[in-house]
Amino acid sequence: MYCWSVSRKPTKADPCETSGTRGTAAPVEKRVVFRSAWLPWALIAPQLVVIAVFFFWPAAQALLQSVQQADAFSPRVEWVGLENFVNLWNDPLYIKSFYTTAIFSTLVAVLGISLSLLLAVFADRIVKGALVYRTFLIWPYAVAPAVAGVLWLFILAPSIGIVSFWLRAVGLEWNPLLDGQHAMTLVVLAAVWKQISYNFLFFLAGLQSIPKSLIEAAAIDGARPWRRFWTIVFPLLTPTSFFLLVINIVYAFFDTFAIIDAATQGGPGKETSILVYRAYYDGFKAMDFGASAAQSVVLMVIVVGLTVVQFRFVEKKVNY
């Protein structure tokens, strides 16, 4: 073993000689010590500027606008306090958007993580043609969300869609333009397909980092493949699964806006209007800037709360 360390001043005794046997000492933890007090701050300053400009400043603007009422056709701004929030809770369509968002985000997160884990397990076992197989699975991540929404809209279009043709052949009338459940299925499929490559990459990397000796030892002991997966593989993948759970929930709340806007525009009858799309619609189409800002504040609080809950309770089941 090698023994090394980085410190400001040399120590009196060599750490490699403290174990009693020369050449067999345990390695020392590497620590980097900055001689300058301003250098660490200078290194993180660019990231702090990016966070301040693109997160804290817009969040502060949203908080300010949520207690104001602005006219889209004049510079007049009126202070209304919490009136915008009160109007939101009295709007049944906005309350319905909570239910729609809960269903949509749950389906996207569960289906996306489950399918990507299944594909990663299969890809990890492939010996011949593994590069081609993995390349095809990664491709969807390069597609823009709006393009993914239009692509699945064409595939499931009631008049020209190939999947719609097959469904009519078996006696199922498919029309996402008129049926709310069909429209929800359309946007969920598009969102899952768009995100599945991202999840696949992390799961495949996690599977390849698991020592094969553990799985071989379990196989020698008589454990079947299903039992080996649930007792050895999946517990070692819990850090990756927890990370992807947080990422996929944030993705379902925010990054699926372009998919919904391109595929259904929140319809039919607001059946696919999730919280982020409702905030966009009220702000840019209905020109109600105060209500849109209040919705963005509520959405931010919900996402932050869900993230805190996940780190507070779900992370306890993670095996690091």
pLDDT at position 126 is: 72
pLDDT at position 7 is: 41
* Residue stretches of the chain with pLDDT short of 50: 1-21, 23
Non-local CB neighbours of 249 within 8 Å, separated by 6+ positions: 105, 109, 303, 306, 307, 310
pLDDT at position 319 is: 66
Yes or no: say if 156 and 164 are a contact pair by the CB < 8 Å rule.
yes
For residue 70, what are the β-bridge partners? 77
pTM score: 0.81
pLDDT at position 269 is: 85
Q: Over the Cα atoms of the chain, what is R_g?
A: 26
pLDDT at position 193 is: 95
pLDDT at position 26 is: 54
pLDDT at position 320 is: 59
Query: In this predicted model, what pLDDT tens digit does every residue of 198-227 receive, in sequence order?
Result: 999 899 889 988 888 888 888 888 888 888
pLDDT at position 127 is: 62
Yes or no: say if 295 and 88 are a contact pair by the CB < 8 Å rule.
yes
> Which of 170, 154, 172 is CA-nearest to residue 162?
154
Query: In this predicted model, what pLDDT tens digit does every residue of 231-273 receive, in sequence order?
Result: 889 989 988 999 999 999 999 999 999 999 999 999 888 899 9
Rounded to an integer, what distance in angstroms lies between the CA atom of residue 111 and that of residue 132? 24
Q: 243 by DSSP, 3-state: which?
A: helix
pLDDT at position 5 is: 39
For residue 68, what are the β-bridge partners? 79
